[in-house]
Structure 1
Amino acid sequence: MTFMDEAIFLLEPILKHGWFLKGSKPSCPVNWSRGKECVFGALSFGNGGKLISKQAKKINSENFIEYVQCLLDKNGSQVLFVDNAPWHTSYKTSGFLEEVRDCIEPMYLPPYSPELNPVEPGWKVVRSKLANRLFENTSELRESLGKALDEVQLNINEQRYLTGQIS
C-alpha cells in the first residue's frame, strides 16, 4: 500500500517565526525569480516512514508515469493511493495504468481531502527545513531540497491511520 502526492517548492523564501531584538526591524531579502522545483513523493507503510521522492521540472502525466514506473521497479506490485489531480486521471495516465494493472491497483482519495494522504505532513517538514533561507538560484534550491527530502522521516502509526484515528 503506497500513498503518493506532489508538491511545488518556489525559489521565494518560506517565512517562519523567528527571534529578533526588541525594537529591531528585521528584513527579509527576496529573490524575485519565478524558479521552482517540483517533487513527487510516496510513502509505503512497510518502508519505515521513509519518503520515496523524485524531483522534476514539471508535474505532468509523463513525469507522473515515470515516477510510478520507478516505484514499481523499487517496490513491486502495490495498491497506489493518489488524489484526483489531472495528471493522475489523464488519458495518457489511464492507458499506462491499464497496461500495468497486474502490478498496480490505483485507488483515488476523495476530492478535497488532503488530510487523508499521509504524505502531506512530509511536505510540511520539508518546508520547515527550507524556511527562512534565500536561495540564489534553482540549483541551490534543488540541492537543499534534496538534502531535506533525504532527512524526512514520517512516524505514522499504520493501524491508527487505517482505522481513521489520524493524528
Structure 2
Amino acid sequence: MLNLLPTLESSSNIVVYASDETGISVESDNHYSWSPVGHPPILEKNARHEGVNIIGSTAILNGYHIVNDIYPSSKSITTKEVKAHIQHLLDINEGKKVVIFLDNARFHKSLEMQKFYYDNRDILEVIFLPKYSPYMNPQEQIWHYVKAKLYKPSARECKYELTYDINLILGDLNLNKDKIRSLADGRKYLL
C-alpha cells in the first residue's frame, strides 16, 4: 500500500472511494443521555421499525465528496443496488479510473458483480478489505458521524423525515471538504 499511495494521490485521472452500506432507523439509538437525578430520561419509541438502508461512497484522497443512494428499509441492499451505485460512480467520473475499497459482503463478490468488475476493468479497480475489519474502512467514520448528528430524543414521524435529515447532513458534509478529510482521509487508513 505504501508504494501505491503516492501514485493514487498524485494522479488527476484516478478517484479513490471507500464504500459501505448501513441501515438507520427513524428511532434514534440511545448512545448516551442525561437527566436530573431520580428522573430517568424519556426516549420516544414508535415501534414501527421503519428506516432506510444507505449505500455510500466517499472520495478519500482527492476531491473529498460523498455519493449516496438511499432505499427504504423494506428493501434490502443487493447486488442490483450495489452495481447501480458503482455504475453511478463511474458515470460521474467519466474519463477517470475509479478505485473502490469494499468490504467482503456477499453481494460485493457475487458472480454478477465479478462479471461487472471484469467488464469495467479498464476504468474500475476494486480492492477488498480484509474480512472483519470495519476499522479499516473510512466510510464507517462517515456513518458514525451521520448517526451521531441524527440523534434526537424523539422518534421521527416517518422515513421521509429521516431521509430529509440524512440528505441535509450529507449535503452539509459535501460543502465542508475539510470535515470529510478529518473523518475519512485515506492516508490514515492506507498506511
Q: CA RMSD in A?
A: 1.7
Scaled by the length of structure 2, the TM-score of the pair is: 0.77
Q: Does 1:140 align with 2:164?
A: no
Counterpart position of 2:63: 47
> Moved runs in structure 1, 4+ residues, more than 3 A?
156-161
1:46 partner SS: coil
Q: Unaligned stretches of 5+ in structure 1?
A: none
Q: Unaligned stretches of 5+ in structure 2?
A: 1-15, 174-178
Q: 1: distance between equivalents of 2:20 and 2:84? A: 14
- The 8 Å contact of residues 14 and 130 in structure 1, kept in 2 or not, is answered as no
Corresponding pairs, count: 162
1:47 partner SS: coil
Scaled by the length of structure 1, the TM-score of the pair is: 0.88
Give the fraction of aligned pairs with identical amino acids, expressed as a percent.
27
Q: Does 1:65 align with 2:93?
A: no
Counterpart position of 1:161: 189
Q: What does the per-residue CA deviation read over 1:46-89, in whole Å, with 9 as the maximum and x for residues that have no partner?
A: 123x3222212331110101100111111232121111101101
Q: Does 1:4 align with 2:19?
A: yes
Q: Which amino acid is the alignment partner of residue 114 of structure 2? A: S
More moved, 79-88 vs 154-163: 154-163
Q: Structure 1 residues 160, 130: CA separation in 2 closer, same or farther (over 3 Å shift)?
A: closer
Q: Which amino acid is the alignment partner of residue 148 of structure 1? A: I
Alpha-carbon shift at residue 36 of structure 1 (Å)? 2.1
- The 8 Å contact of residues 126 and 145 in structure 1, kept in 2 or not, is answered as yes
1:15 equivalent among 20, 30, 33: 30
1:14-163 equivalence runs, <5 A:
14-44=29-59, 45-48=61-64, 50-57=65-72, 58-75=76-93, 76-132=96-152, 133-152=154-173, 153-154=179-180, 155=182, 156-163=184-191
Q: Which amino acid is the alignment partner of residue 23 of structure 1? A: G
